[in-house]
Chain A
Amino acid sequence: MGALTEKSQEDKVWEAIADPTKQVLFFTAPSIKATLGEAFDMPIGTNVEGKMAAAIKRLGANVKAFNMDFTADLTIIEEANELVQRIKNGGTLPMFTSCCPGWVKFVEHYYPEFLPNLSTCKSPQAMFGAVLKGYYCQKNGIDPKDVFVVSVIPCTAKKFEATRPQLRSDENYDDVDVALTTRELARMIKRAAINFTDLPEEDFDAPFNKATGGGIIFGATGGVLEAALRTAARLLDGDFKKIDFEEVRGPEAVREVTYEVAGVKINVAVTSGLGNARMLLEKIKKGEANYQMVEIMACPGGCINGGGQPTRSDSVSNYVDYKALRSKALYDLDKNSELRVCEESPIIKMVYDEFFETPGAEKAHHYLHTSYVARSKYYT
């Protein structure tokens, strides 16, 4: 009924596009390709990646469209490395995923005793900001003040995340200038009078145009953990072959699985929805569960059901399993990807060779890792 809405930030983006001194760099989160079509009356679960890239490029001559699945790959490289280090060196376990800003802030407010358990990896959105204002600007000789970074995310909490001071790789500016929800991008495309459904399928802009299946499935609950397992297992055992960890995929509220890799037992748990998260944290607190890694997303079903996604009518919300249809689009893409393990991506190799050195290295740490703060339960 419109009583609760996100604050629109579209105007800031239009201003940047109209400014000839600015390069406007868009990137879209993994789940957007599976949901944006709904805003243009396409069937639920239609993959519109090609049309989405084409539409963004048509918003202005100074606009580039990048693929955030690439920094989902990058997150996994850092996060899987962190997990293996924590296991080998007796670090704090279980390690919690840290890509979901709603979940991170929930821990900061309600369970600050678990802050050391949160992976120090930035989220894919924050990593992309750091890649663009760090690596990309340096490589192309651009002043970071002349780029305007726009993320397209399925989430209203990502708008808050973009302003977290802990995420700045340079203290003078935010790495991500504006975070737009799927709904806001859809409105921008409509306002630009772009006929979305008739657009040709186009590629994202180089150099951040491709990703692996591991990055793609970030948008669905269990996806981050599965991608991390693919990479972590290969770090522990060079001959590891398994790719599909179907046991951690939806739709059960909590999935608990034990894997054994190179003699190391890895207990994992996945859940989504903060009610389930609270239940799982209480279980860990009481010592009733012993996990190495836990994935939590604040929204039930993960980002494909995020608070910034296109709205649905009640007849869809109540009677259609739209979460399954949207995640199927991502898992189908993963299944058909040539490269499915994050470290296989040639773009990942490029950014480490040219800039970040090695996973967990000092430079990687400066740009790709962050810290958290304990917050009060009450708004002050």
Chain B
Amino acid sequence: METVHLKINNIPVEVPQGYTILQAAKAANIEIPTLCYLKDINCIGACRVCMVEAQKDGRPLRGLLAACVYPAEEGLEVFTNTPAVIKSRKTTLELLLSNHNKKCLSCTRNQHCELQKLAAEYGVDEDRFPSEEPIYEIDDLSPYIVRDNNKCINCMRCVAACKNV
């Protein structure tokens, strides 16, 4: 099996070719936060929470990379927690929350919510981008399932689960 060598937060890592940065980081026991990623089911780089900084041959790569889809390359040096990365994640979360119904207290996901958890960890200002009033009608046509698109963050996980499982 062909492998590639890279560094993540200065830690040397050797992983099989074809691994993503996210998988390589996991192999080195380094956590990178994700929202839309579902192993083997949804891997589309949609939420932009897993962004990392990287350089190759001493030169920084342009922009940030989505770790869940960017391949681990030979000689890549990845940094998962730089000020630029943290600022990007925080702004991304604030943007996600700008059109998210934030009534956490009455949400069934309260205290079991990945978005809520990351928002707390990154110290977001939930009102940095003021939200509009809820715009989607709640769909409770089914007798047993409720769909509230005002809480949807376009992670596409439900679509992927229906398509790929």
Flag A239-271 by CB within 8 Å of B: 1 or 0 each: 000000000000000000000000000000000
A273: B residues at CB distance < 8 A: 165
Give the residue of B114, B144, B152 whose beta carbon is less than 8 angstroms from that of A6: B144
Of the stretches A15-23, A314-322, A331-339, A353-361, the one at the interface is A314-322
| Docked-complex contact B100 and A318, CB < 8 angstroms | no
Choose, from B3-11, B34-42, B80-88, the stretch at the interface. Answer: B34-42
Q: Is there an interface contact between B145 and A7, defined as CB atoms closer than 8 Å?
A: yes
Whether A7 lies near B144 (C-beta < 8 A) is: yes
Number of chain A residues whose Cβ lies closer than 8 Å to a Cβ of chain B: 25
**Closest residue to A163 on the B side, CB-wise?**
B143
Please report whether the interface of chain A is mostly helix, strand, loop or mixed according to DSSP.
Answer: mixed
Q: Which among B100, B140, B148, B165 has the greatest number of chain A C-beta atoms within 10 A?
A: B165
Contacts of A376 in B (CB 8 A): none
Query: A3 — which chain B residues lie within 8 A by C-beta?
Result: 147-153, 158
CB distance from A1 to the nearest CB of B (A): 5
The CA-CA distance from A274 to B163 in the complex, in Å, is 10
| Residues of the B chain whose Cβ atoms lie less than 8 Å from the Cβ of A156 | 144-145
Q: What's the nearest-Cβ distance from chain B to residue A248, in Å?
A: 21
- Docked Cα-Cα span, A55 to B82, in Å, equals 48
Q: Which of B146, B152, B164 contacts A1 (CB 8 A)?
A: B152
B31 CB–A CB distance under 8 Å = yes
Chain B's nearest CB lies how many Å from the CB of A186? 11
Q: Chain A interface: which of B54-62, B70-78, B105-113, B120-128?
A: B105-113
What's the minimum C-beta distance from B71 to chain A, rounded to whole angstroms? Answer: 18
- Which one of A4, A275, A318 has the highest number of Cβ atoms from chain B below 10 Å of its Cβ? A4
Minimum CB–CB distance for B77 against chain A, Å: 24
CA distance A163 to B117 in the complex (A): 37
**Which B residues touch A1, using CB under 8 A?**
100, 109, 113-115, 151-153, 155
Nearest CB on A from B142, distance (A)? 8
Residues on A with beta carbons closer than 8 Å to the beta carbon of B115: 1
Residue in A2, A163, A300, A318 with the greatest tally of chain B CB atoms within 10 Å: A2
Partner of B165, one of A4, A160, A274, A311: A274
For chain B residues 18-38, which have a beta carbon within 8 Å of chain A?
Answer: 26, 31, 34-35, 37-38
In the complex, A318 Cα to B109 Cα: how many Å? 18
Whole-angstrom distance between the alpha carbons of A273 and B160 in the complex? Answer: 13
Kindly count the residue-residue contacts between A and B in the assembled complex, taking CB atoms under 8 Å apart. Answer: 76
Q: How far is the CB of B108 from chain A (nearest CB, A)?
A: 5
- The secondary structure that dominates the B interface is loop
Residue of B nearest to A275 (CB): B165
Distance of A160 Cα from B142 Cα, bound (Å):
9
Cβ contact within 8 Å between A4 and B109: no
- Say yes or no: A160 contacts B144, CB within 8 Å: yes
Cβ distance B104 to chain A, nearest Cβ, rounded Å: 9
Chain B residues near A57 (CB, 8 Å)? Answer: none
A89 at interface, CB cutoff 8 A = no
Q: Separation in Å of the A109 CB from the closest CB of chain B? A: 14
Contacts of A318 in B (CB 8 A): 34, 37-39
Cα of A3 to Cα of B149 in the assembled complex, Å: 6
Q: List 21 A-B contacts (CB under 8 A).
A: A1-B114, A1-B153, A1-B155, A2-B107, A2-B109, A3-B149, A3-B151, A3-B153, A5-B109, A6-B145, A6-B146, A7-B142, A275-B165, A300-B165, A311-B109, A313-B117, A314-B34, A314-B35, A317-B38, A317-B39, A319-B26
List 18 additional contacts besides A2-B151, A313-B117; criterion CB under 8 Å. Answer: A1-B155, A2-B148, A3-B147, A3-B152, A3-B153, A4-B148, A5-B146, A6-B146, A159-B144, A183-B108, A273-B165, A300-B165, A313-B114, A314-B114, A318-B37, A318-B39, A319-B26, A319-B39
